């Protein structure tokens, strides 16, 4: 079911279209899973054909990597068949200013800690988790390049960074012969599409893969929660998230998702994930699950093919508002094309500059 692989970005790394995220591995939150429950998810994910496990040094208060490492150590031969991804940047050592961010000391220290917890000699995909405005990006890239050359990392990516810094890192890596950035891990769903304004066109232009996190927007796209029915909003500690998410636009999106799901005989979550899988910019989706049944439901989206009219309806209802200059650039297509269709793209209605004279 999940044995449909893609090469991630401009690398030769083959990853499943659906990755298993370990955000809920360990820790003391209402949604936390212990090692046994997390291990059951990993085993079932492998049975379904998946090969990409994604964690971070901060997940579960630092326990997620340990849980994955214990699982790998207990299952002979599994490590080499899996793609193990982790992240650095979050400071998990209170009082130590050099334990977080993108500085050389922080990266080396975090990588060594992660290798010990994961019980492995290398990390296949290492993400910079968050933007560090206090460290020159060239220092970050050089430290990562040194770790790649030492064989401790295989590929590197960026997560949650502004588009301008991704572009800077991409070109600095190119010009200074550093290890290239292979992809981005970004929040993306029918209810969170702001990356379409800058990140998506940039990723497509530079050949960067996109791994989408929170594809169900903290469970809001599962269909189990509605704005006017708050009785179960606090289930698994989701209340604070859902209160921010379930606005009028979210309700309009849910109405379209639910109508399509009911007509197809599938779940709203599966429709939402199938829409993401159909996005040409998305390489892999990070799915999370509380149990095996939920994992299997999410994985079932990989076999769902949405009709063109349903894709169009979902595209329209969740379309993000485009601020300047993105919207100006979109409307300016009429000025560039002279009203003609180029590369399959027609100028928008009303495009062009009012100062242009028509002949």
The Cα 187–Cα 46 span in angstroms is 24
71 as an active site residue: the answer is: no
Q: What are residue 289's phi and psi, to 5 degrees? A: -155, 150
Nearest to 352 by CA among 329, 322, 320: 329
The Cα 21–Cα 55 span in angstroms is 6
- CA dihedral in degrees (5, 62, 25, 158; nearest 10)? -30
Is residue 95 within 8 Å of residue 62, measured between CB atoms? no
The Cα 132–Cα 89 span in angstroms is 8
Is residue 20 within 8 Å of residue 52, measured between CB atoms? yes
Which residues of 89-180 form beta strands (DSSP E)?
123-128, 153-159
Question: Which of the residues 59, 126, 206, 225 is marked catalytic?
Answer: 59
Is residue 164 within 8 Å of residue 135, measured between CB atoms? no
Which residues have a catalytic role annotated?
Answer: 59
């Amino acid at each position: 079911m999940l044995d449909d692989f893609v090469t991630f970005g401009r690398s030769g790394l083959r990853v499943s279209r659906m990755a298993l995220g370990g955000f809920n591995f360990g820790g003391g939150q209402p949604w936390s899973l212990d090692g046994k429950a997390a291990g059951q998810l990993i085993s079932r994910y492998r049975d379904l054909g998946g090969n990409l496990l994604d964690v971070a040094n901060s997940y579960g208060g630092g326990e997620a990597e340990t849980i994955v490492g214990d699982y790998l150590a207990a299952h002979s031969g599994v490590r080499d068949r899996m793609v193990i991804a982790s992240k650095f940047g979050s400071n998990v050592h209170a009082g130590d200013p050099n334990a977080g961010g993108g500085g050389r000391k922080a990266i080396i220290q975090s990588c060594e800690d992660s290798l010990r917890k994961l019980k492995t000699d290398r990390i296949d995909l290492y993400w910079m988790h968050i933007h560090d405005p206090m460290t020159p990006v060239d220092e970050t890239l050089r430290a990562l390049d040194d770790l790649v050359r030492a064989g401790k990392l295989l590929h590197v990516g960026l997560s949650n960074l502004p588009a301008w810094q991704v572009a800077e890192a991409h070109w600095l890596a190119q010009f200074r012969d550093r290890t290239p950035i292979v992809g981005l891990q970004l929040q993306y769903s029918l209810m969170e599409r702001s990356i379409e304004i800058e990140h998506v066109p940039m990723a497509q232009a530079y050949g960067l893969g996109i791994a989408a996190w929170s594809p169900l927007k903290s469970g809001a796209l599962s269909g189990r929660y509605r704005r006017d029915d708050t009785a179960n909003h606090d289930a698994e500690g989701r209340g604070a998230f859902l209160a921010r998410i379930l606005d009028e636009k979210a309700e309009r999106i849910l109405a379209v998702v639910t109508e399509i799901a009911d007509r197809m005989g599938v779940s709203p979550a599966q429709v939402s994930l199938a829409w993401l899988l159909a996005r040409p910019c998305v390489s892999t989706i990070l799915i999370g699950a509380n149990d095996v049944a939920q994992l299997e439901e999410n994985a079932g989206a990989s076999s769902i093919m949405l009709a063109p009219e349903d894709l169009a309806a979902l595209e329209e209802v969740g379309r993000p508002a485009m601020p300047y200059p993105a919207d100006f650039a979109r409307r300016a297509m009429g000025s560039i094309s002279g009203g003609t269709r180029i590369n399959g793209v027609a100028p928008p209605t009303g495009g062009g500059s009012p100062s242009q004279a028509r002949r």
